[in-house]
Chain A
Amino acid sequence: MNFLLGAFKPACNILITFSDAKTRKQVPMKNENGQMVMVPLFQSQENIAAKISIEPLQGKKIEHNGVKVELLGQIEMYFDRGNFYDFTSLVRELDVPGDIYERKTYPFEFSTVEMPYETYSGVNVRLRYVLKVTVSRNYGGSIVEYQDFMVRNYSPPPSINNSIKMEVGIEDCLHIEFEYNKSKYHLKDVIIGKIYFLLVRIKIKNMDLEIRRRESTGSGANTHVETETLAKYELMDGAPVRGESIPIRLFLSPYELTPTHRNINNKFSVKNYLNLVLVDEEDRRYFKQQEITIYRLLDS
């Protein structure tokens, strides 16, 4: 049973019910108050069908100038809070102006909706999809109701997925060669790889592999970049010698990762990096960062 947030309005109750609510997958999502709520999950090109029922309070009638529902894809920058940029906006007029005396239900459908971007909630930016119901009135203000839903887009396995292989080093100090089996990983993937030590003249204490997410918002001079370390995985303990090779096997499933988003509507992008960090006995860090693409593979 779907149920509108802050549903109680002086004049009426507005209920938005997805037609396939019983079967559609529900996923948790953090709302604006920071609470987890369950919302239905969609992907691009799906039909979004629902019905809206408007029920005036106890025998009151509602005079209105029309009822409409909008499907909005919005990007909200936190430095510009409250100001939404709609990259998608679809509208259905549900009713011509008139009066509602009793509960009235309006089924509607947006078919094969283009929702190219995934729902995203980052440090500085949020991308959300919402159904917005507006009962326009001349006085007392319009009655508006929202229903969030989540969008995730799945990608097929990429046809080209080269490994990442690289030799790095500090001259006469440290030379390593590392290899990650792919450059594109899905969210439940496993990173397999190896690190070869070609030259070791520093006393290494340990080596970690980090997964870092870099979110950049804005453009030009206003670009904000936030980097988060989502995973820190110890690969090696102790000091290797020349010729050693250390295996990498990192399961991605335990971490809450985000697929890579490139240039979302010129507003923001989210990139993922593997950061190989070597720490020496004086706690100096030597690292090499490598971008990887993370995508969402349809669960089978």
Chain B
Amino acid sequence: MIADGVEDEEKWLAAGIAGLQQNAFYMHRALDSNNIRDALKYSAQMLSELRTSRLSPHKYYELYMRAFDELRKLEMFFKEETRRGCSIVDLYELVQHAGNILPRLYLLCTVGSVYIKSKEAPAKDVLKDLVEMCRGIQHPVRGLFLRSYLAQVSRDKLPDIGSEYEGDADTVVDAVEFVLQNFTEMNKLWVRMQHQGPAREKEKREKERSELRDLVGKNLHVLSQIEGIDLDMYKETVLPRVLEQVVNCKDEIAQYYLMDCIIQVFPDEYHLQTLDVLLGAFPQLQPTVDIKTVLSRLMERLSNYAASSADVLPEFLQVEAFSKLNNAIGKVIEAQPDMPILGVITLYSSLLTFTLHVHPDRLDYADQVLGACVKKLSGKEKLEDKKATKQIVALLSAPLDKYNDIVTALKLSNYPRVMEYLDSETNKVMATVIIQSIMKNKTRISTADRVEALFELIKGLIKDLDDAFHDEVDEDDFKEEQNSVARLIQLLHSDDPEEMFKIICTVRKHILGGGPKRLPFTVPPLVFSSLKLVRQLQGQEENPFGEEESTTPKKIFQVLNQTVETLSNIPAPELALQLFLQCAEAANDCDLEPVAYEFFTQAYILYEEEISDSRAQVTAIHLIIGTLQRMHVFGVENRDTLTHKATGYSAKLLKKPDQCRAVYACSHLFWVDDQDNVKDGERVLLCLKRALRIANAAQQMSNAARGSAGSVTLFVEILNKYLYFFEKGNPQITVAAIQSLIELITTEMHSDSSTPDPAADAFFASTLRYMEFQKQKGGAIGEKYEPIKV
């Protein structure tokens, strides 16, 4: 059916073109022989092809364009004729003898154009006559094309200011009047299309209408090009008349298109000065019109206009652009109760963008917009509409982009309230956007209040919102999010310790609710941030003003203790252990022995109770040893307890090599270079000897299990420890001990059962080379090494 329709249409178009060309041919012949009567006759016949009702606007346009070209030639001929002395007035009458109205009016417009050019009558009279006569075509498509032709031929003949057609009798008012009238009539025809024909072809009709819309819009374009329309005239005549037509036509498609047209074709300056009138029209439009898009474009234009030059800004203030727009949006929303929430948000989003551009200093405006938005959203569930949420994100991102500063956004009291309406997924996205903005701009957020506000905003990332459980989030995404939170925490800083402490407490309060998955990400940065504060305080006199409540390291440590403890509960014992050790070290630097001891205790408890994986144990024990070694705050007793424990743990590791390594590492616990009270050579030797024994045992075990002795690496490592303490002057480490160890290694290496291990060989060789080198260096060290034979 439809295919047939299209085919038929092609046929009709072809027939139309053929008829047109044939008559055009005869017309040309008549023109060549100056036979005006025949010329008119054939041109009328030619134009009769345009009387068809069978073509869609698209095809009709094709036909029209051909006729248009021919009419140009005819117009030239008429011009020539008048130059030869033919009376244009007679010609104007003559063409009206045509019996069919459509050809008649095309000819009339053509002659009319020449008539105006001849200036034998005031342009306004001719124009008025033409636009009036065109009423005879009530068929929408034919009428639109005819009037479009009229608009086309009259375009350069309007009595505009500065135009040659302007005169005593002809003023720009007449030009405007003419265009407005043509516009009104065209719009009426265009709107009428909607109501003609069967209902089932509605869609097709709407498509056809949209193909024709530019014909109508062209009039507005012509209006915008009339130089003589100054602001006053625009305000008094043009805009009210156009709007009247737009509002009264009560047609969705027309209203949408024309409002947009008005906004696009007339200068921004005019819009600004006529905001009242323009905006007043919006609430009167049909409830189904997509006002949001149009209004958004208006605001966008105005924003750009404001951005174009600083000189125009006072104008915006003078006309109170913001409050007018705000009111208008309120009214539009009221007038369109069915407007989807997306529309509402889009409107507010545009308004926000507008106010941010135009009144960057008026934060209260922005807050007002957000407030209005919240009001609109309230009473509704969280948004389900994807597009709407997207718009909210855009809405919320706008202030961030503009101010590049979250602090400003934090001042907007309605900001978090808007965020509440997002689903948790989007909430997260928004939170990420906020954090990224902070990081990009390295914004400093330095008061607890703001931190509080900020965390309120990004709480989507901080804890699970809702009780509803959401789909499995992507692990990588989650990590990414939490890492950004971690980075954010690092960025929070105040130079004032009091305030900083408050910030820490605030952050802590928020992140503790984060659940087992988040805490491992969020606690460490908080801990380090706190430790940073501790170190800052450490440099100062404690309690410089003797104030009771002032922040002290002690207090911070208390907080820290509790914080880290939460990690052990979730459980993340390794991480907790590391953090405890960090804290211990900081406490050590603050000379807070009990605190440090407490942290160690915590670490040990974790080690004993929670860390069962042997590999983790190895890592942990090395950390413990390393930290403990650096501690100087402990008294002998405490230190003994801790070292004893550490050594004990070392010896209980599962794998022999691990045992061995942990044990020889323990040796450092008894010999700290810069602490004179910790130089217990004997126990060092004990540790090393024990390590040797374990190494031996490992060797044997390996022999027993696999039939070959393990590598000698462990021995070489122990040798290196020997050499270290030897150099440090531990009296228990003797030349003989070293000598025998070297021999032991050599023997082992050459024993039949040993497995060749190039790495161990190289290690040993370079150790020997080191000793050789030390010898050659001479001096005290050289002398010390001298007795050792390699």
Contact = CB atoms under 8 A, between A and B. Distances in A.
A249 B97 CA distance: 10
Interface string A214-227: 00000000000000
A234 B101 contact: yes
Find the residue from A204, A231, A246 having the highest chain B CB count within 10 A: A246
A238 B135 contact: no
Interface string A224-240: 00000001111111111
A233 B99 contact: yes
Chain A interface secondary structure, helix, strand, loop or mixed? Answer: strand
A244 interface: yes
A232 B101 CA distance: 11
Interface string B97-133: 1011110100000000000000000000000000011
Given A238-B140, A239-B196, A249 B96 contact: yes
A246 B93 contact: no
Contacts of A237: 51, 101-102, 136-139, 142-143
B187 to A, nearest CB: 13
A238 B140 CA distance: 8
A241 interface: yes
A98 interface: no
Find the residue from A235, A238, A247, A254 having the highest chain B CB count within 10 A: A238
Contacts of A136: none
A245 interface: yes
A247 B133 contact: yes
A241 B136 CA distance: 12
A251 B96 contact: yes
B235 interface: no
A249 B133 contact: yes
B136 A235 contact: yes
Contact of B99 (A232, A240, A241, A245): A232
A251 B143 CA distance: 23
Contact of A247 (B102, B132, B142): B132
A251 B93 contact: yes
B96 A244 contact: no
A235 B99 CA distance: 9
Interface in B156-200: 188, 192, 196
Interface string A134-160: 000000000000000000000000000
A244 B138 contact: yes
Nearest to A243: B188
Nearest to A241: B192
A246 B132 contact: no
A245 B135 contact: yes
A235 B138 contact: no
Nearest to A233: B99
Nearest to A240: B138
Interface string A35-78: 00000000000000000000000000000000000000000000
Given A245-B135, A247-B136, A238 B100 contact: no
Nearest to B101: A234
Interface in B406-464: none
Interface string A194-209: 0000000000101000
Interface in A173-207: 204, 206
Given A237-B51, A247-B132, A247-B136, A254 B97 contact: yes
Contacts of B133: 247, 249
A253 B142 CA distance: 28
B100 to A, nearest CB: 5
Contacts of A251: 93, 96-97
A253 B192 CA distance: 36
A204 B192 CA distance: 14
A231 B98 CA distance: 11
A219 to B, nearest CB: 36
Contacts of A241: 138, 188, 192
Given A239-B196, A241-B192, A251-B93, A234 B99 contact: yes
Find the residue from B93, B97, B138 having the highest chain A CB count within 10 A: B138
Contacts of B143: 237-238
Nearest to A204: B138
Contacts of B101: 206, 234-237
A214 B529 CA distance: 111
Contacts of B188: 241
Nearest to A197: B138
Nearest to B146: A237
A238 B142 contact: yes
B133 to A, nearest CB: 6
Interface in A228-282: 231-241, 244-247, 249, 251, 253-254
B181 to A, nearest CB: 13
Interface in B195-210: 196
A195 B51 CA distance: 22
B138 A236 contact: yes
Contacts of B132: 247
Contact of A246 (B99, B104, B138): B138
Contacts of A247: 132-133, 135-136
A235 B138 CA distance: 10
B145 to A, nearest CB: 12
Given A247-B132, A247-B133, A239 B139 contact: yes
Interface string B77-103: 000000000000000010011011110
A157 B97 CA distance: 24
Find the residue from B96, B101, B192 having the highest chain A CB count within 10 A: B101
B138 A238 contact: yes
Interface string B677-691: 000000000000000
Nearest to B136: A236
Nearest to B97: A254
A297 B142 CA distance: 39
Top 3 nearest A-B pairs (CB, nearest first) are A238-B139, A238-B138, A234-B101
13 contacts: A206-B101, A233-B99, A234-B100, A237-B139, A238-B137, A238-B142, A244-B138, A246-B135, A247-B133, A249-B96, A249-B133, A251-B93, A251-B97
Given A246-B138, A249-B96, 12 more contacts: A204-B138, A231-B99, A232-B99, A233-B99, A237-B137, A237-B143, A239-B138, A239-B196, A244-B138, A246-B136, A247-B132, A254-B97
